Structure 1
Amino acid sequence: MSIMNRADFAQDALMGNYWNETTSIMNQWYPREANRADENYYYWWQAHVIDVFVDGLNRTGDRLYKDRIEAIYEGLLRSNGGTFLHHYYDDMEWLGLALLRAYQATGNEAYKQSALELWADIKTAWSEHMGGGMAWNKGQLDYKNTPANAPAAILAARLFQCFGDKSDLEWALKIYKWNKENLVDPETGFVWDGINRLGDMQIDYDWAFTYCQGVYIGAGVELYRSTGDRSFLEEAKRTAHACIVRLCSPGNHVLPDEGIDDTGLFKGILVRYLVELLRAAPEMNEVREAVLANRAILLEQGLDKASGLCGPSWESLPVVPVQLSVQLSGVMLLEAAEALQRLE
């Protein structure tokens, strides 16, 4: 089976195992019976579903993926009460990023307008508390973290690249600057999660998550693309190296099992932005090796060949029920590996 077929296999397994025809969004668990009425509604997971459908569309040009994007766009709008606005700023940022990519892939003006409406609301996250930065949610405006800042910088930079509004570039620069000065280890480039979560002005140094590294890398790459300033690219490369050294298993580069729920998505997000780094810096062989090593271990040990399911550890076969967030990371890895092959 070719890498392309593996990516399509993963995409078809995602649809077959999780798609809900009634709601036109993905169920949160496979099998469906594991879904509970009292569970939280994870809006931001659905944003990443759109992102992987865009991956499939860009890879194949198949109208099937375009139809899937249209269906979940409408389903997510209904499920969120007729609006894409949300309590969590980082959740809106993920959807804004996905819809901007969907617009670029399809030309559908509705996606563009929705992304711009989200961006207008996202900008209300900024305050001068702690010298600036984007708040995590609308009920805790004094808690600032990388998950709310780095994706916002990516979105602002991409909006600038797409539409040419210099104010978006200014937003990207100031958000990135705050993130770098407050939540990045100046010695190594490793990215910390957040500050003042408990109202004590402390940084969560022990929250070492893959996706914090990924989104900061992504922000650096997009600012390099927007400005031509190589210092942003060098900072992204430094963080990637720190991430591999600290979070990958020595010897085989395998990324850690970060569990289920939201953290189940983290590795997929990291891998997505490692590939964006390789587009800008193809000389980063350790990054290429890490992506390919994780793909190999997933295909050899972690992917159920019958169901297409994968677990939170890419070194072990999944145990049902399997969460959507976890499954998405596996799909993102296989799409990323195929994109990486096309770069070579």
Structure 2
Amino acid sequence: MDRRELGWAQLAERMHRDLFACYMNAQTGILDQWYPRTAGRADENFYYWWQAHVLDVLVDAYERTGDPALPDRMRRFCRSLEHYNGGTFTHNYYDDMEWTALALLRAYRATGEPWYEEKVQELWADIQTAWNEHCGGGMAWKKDQLDYKNTPANAPAVILAARLYSLFGRPDDLAWAKRIYEWNKTHLVDPATGFVWDGMNRTGDGTIDKDWKFTYCQGVYIGAGVELYVCTGESLYLEDARRTAAACFKELGEPGTGLLPEEGIDDTGLFKGILIRYLVRLLEIDPACPHVREVLLTNAEKLRSDGLIENPLLCGPSWKEPPTLPVQLSVQLSGLMLLEAAAKLEVSK
């Protein structure tokens, strides 16, 4: 059947299947960086944080299908990632650990397996060491650059702390979430618009990187506001999330269409998928939030009609034109997250 005739869940399932068929490495137990694999090099970086989003899409598929084979697949994948990372999930980059902890926590919520929660708590204890008084507080980006603070190391930590509080009710976790959120809002959110800046003091001179306009910074700050609203019922957090969503669409959306920008490959290839994930979360809590459903479905429709090639089902950095081989894992994950989002909206309409 032509992909344009498939429902969103069917299309997401096909892309999920092709993701693992194309990228899974039987020797490492995790996913390769490129398809075809021969496009890669032996000396390429190990993008640990991408694999956290592989676990996220495994959880997405399990939530969508209830396939009883998926928990074992998730379990084996996580143990392979831990082994490949040196027998631990800890890492030099605080934001990388946060992505992993968030995915592991979702796996715990989906399966109830205690091992996931144990690993999350280990990561959370390490992540808390990111807080220091450089730049007036906030979470450092990585352990060997403690004076550089950015949204990708702060807003996901808020989401993690807030979700831990929602699950286990520890007041310290909520206190962490509020404190990190206030730092992020005070230092890296445009007070005039709600648009989220990437980071500050990267070059050691206190400069804020206002020209780094990334979709995922908007996404994780939206997610942070939503989770704090869920925890506290305080409307200010939800209003912040709504305001940032509107600013994101205005600043980064294509005028007249709402299509999200091409952000390239490597790490940036994952950015749109992260925004999509937290826009869906915003819509779950606030179904009437202006333009969110429209933006999600507009992007999904464009990807389905113009942005894919088939056999296998692959996408590129732009969702409005087909990819050329090779296709990078980060980019493919973003496209799959968009299709999973559309499948969720199909169920909830």
**Same fold by TM-score, threshold 0.5 exceeded?**
yes
Within the alignment, does 1:121 sit opposite 2:153 as a pair?
no
Within the alignment, does 1:295 sit opposite 2:300 as a pair?
yes
Within the alignment, does 1:305 sit opposite 2:328 as a pair?
no
Q: How far off is 1:2 after superposition?
A: 1.6
Q: Secondary structure at the match of 1:201?
A: coil
Within the alignment, does 1:341 sit opposite 2:335 as a pair?
no
TM-score (normalised: structure 2): 0.98
Q: 2:275 aligns with which of 247, 255, 270?
A: 270
Structure 1: segments with no counterpart, 5+ residues: none
Q: Secondary structure at the match of 2:45?
A: coil
Q: 2:203 aligns with which of 162, 175, 198?
A: 198
Within the alignment, does 1:143 sit opposite 2:155 as a pair?
no
Within the alignment, does 1:37 sit opposite 2:54 as a pair?
no
Runs of 4+ aligned residues of structure 1 deviating over 2 Å after TM superposition are none
Q: How far off is 1:36 after superposition?
A: 1.1
Q: In structure 1, how many angstroms separate the alpha carbons of the residues matched to 2:115 and 2:308?
A: 36
Q: Cα deviations across residues 182-203 of structure 1 (Å, max 9, x unaligned)?
A: 0000000000000000001000
Q: How far off is 1:4 after superposition?
A: 1.0
Q: RMSD in angstroms over aligned alpha carbons? A: 0.7
Q: How far off is 1:63 after superposition?
A: 1.8
Q: How far off is 1:43 after superposition?
A: 0.3
Corresponding residue for 1:327? 332
- Residue identity matched to 1:335: E
Within the alignment, does 1:223 sit opposite 2:234 as a pair?
no
Q: In structure 2, how many angstroms separate the alpha carbons of the residues matched to 1:327 and 1:315?
A: 14
Q: Cα deviations across residues 144-184 of structure 1 (Å, max 9, x unaligned)?
A: 00000000000000000011111000000000000000000
Corresponding residue for 1:237? 242
Q: Cα deviations across residues 201-237 of structure 1 (Å, max 9, x unaligned)?
A: 0000100000000000000000000000011000000
Q: In structure 2, how many angstroms separate the alpha carbons of the residues matched to 1:285 and 1:153?
A: 24
Q: In structure 2, how many angstroms separate the alpha carbons of the residues matched to 1:296 and 1:255?
A: 12
The 5 A counterparts of 1:1-344 are 1-344=6-349
The sequence identity of aligned pairs, in percent, is: 61
Q: Secondary structure at the match of 1:282?
A: coil
Q: In structure 1, how many angstroms separate the alpha carbons of the residues matched to 2:231 and 2:347?
A: 23
Q: How far off is 1:251 after superposition?
A: 1.1
- Residue identity matched to 1:279: E
TM-score (normalised: structure 1): 0.99
Q: Cα deviations across residues 2-58 of structure 1 (Å, max 9, x unaligned)?
A: 211111011001111101111100000000111211111000000000001001101
- Residue identity matched to 1:102: A
- Residue identity matched to 1:137: K
- Residue identity matched to 2:322: L
Q: How far off is 1:280 after superposition?
A: 1.1
